[in-house]
Amino acid sequence: MTDPTPETQSKPKSGWLNVAIDYGPLIVFLVSFYLFRPEGEDSVGTLFAIIKSTGAFIVAAIAAVIASKLVLGHVSKMLMLSTVLIVGFGGLTILLRDPFYVQVKPTVLYAFFGVVLLVGWFKGKAFLQWLLEAAFEGLSQEGWLKLSRNWGVFFLFLAVLNEALRLSLSFESWLWAKLWVFMGLSLAFTFTQIPMLLKHGLDPERNEGLPDEEPPTG
């Protein structure tokens, strides 16, 4: 039996690092809010908890970019765009003392990617291939186009869902939903795409069914 190649050995590690980099800032945001939130009904205390956790969110997002560069050797386009939005909308939240901006950030991110991917699909261009870079070995151009279309529609669904949850839930409930509901839906949707990817040339032995980088979770 031959030993695994260095590439094969490093792939699980790389996958876990990507998960940590992608979800780490959001987890920091959630934990910070849980620690800073006041007891009982205190709107002023809740606002200050949101501001403090937003500051931690921004720092964690920037740290994720630095970690990606130092540990993985690159910063994905999606991570960079997500971080820019976190810093921008998070900064507005702190400056204007309004949690609206940090809550609407995922809507803007999802809507942006959804529109870009669907416009590219209509024009016969698979922009998801550019975003994910070389994530799927062997996938045909038709496969990339279908994947871009499917993720484009899914991103628009997530944008609508985020707005529905933002308008109907408390900030804390929305924050928990942001982590578990959106992460679960994204993972489930990713798995539903595997049969189509295999049909259009995906090499399961080289890709192990999933990319090292997934589209953004916001």
**φ and ψ at residue 211, rounded to 5 degrees:** -80, 160
Q: What is the pLDDT of residue 15?
A: 61
- The answer on pLDDT for 7 being more than 90 is no
- The answer on pLDDT for 209 being more than 50 is no
Poorest-pLDDT segment among 51-65, 97-111, 133-147, 174-188: 133-147
- The answer on pLDDT for 169 being more than 80 is yes
Q: Which amino acid is at 25?
A: P
Instruction: Give yes or no for a contact between 89 and 108, defined as CB atoms under 8 angstroms apart.
Output: yes
Tokens of 143: 């496969």
Instruction: Give yes or no for a contact between 71 and 17, defined as CB atoms under 8 angstroms apart.
Output: yes
Q: Which DSSP string corresponds to 143-170?
A: HHHHHHHHHHHHHHHHHHHHHHHHHHS-
- The answer on pLDDT for 146 being more than 80 is yes
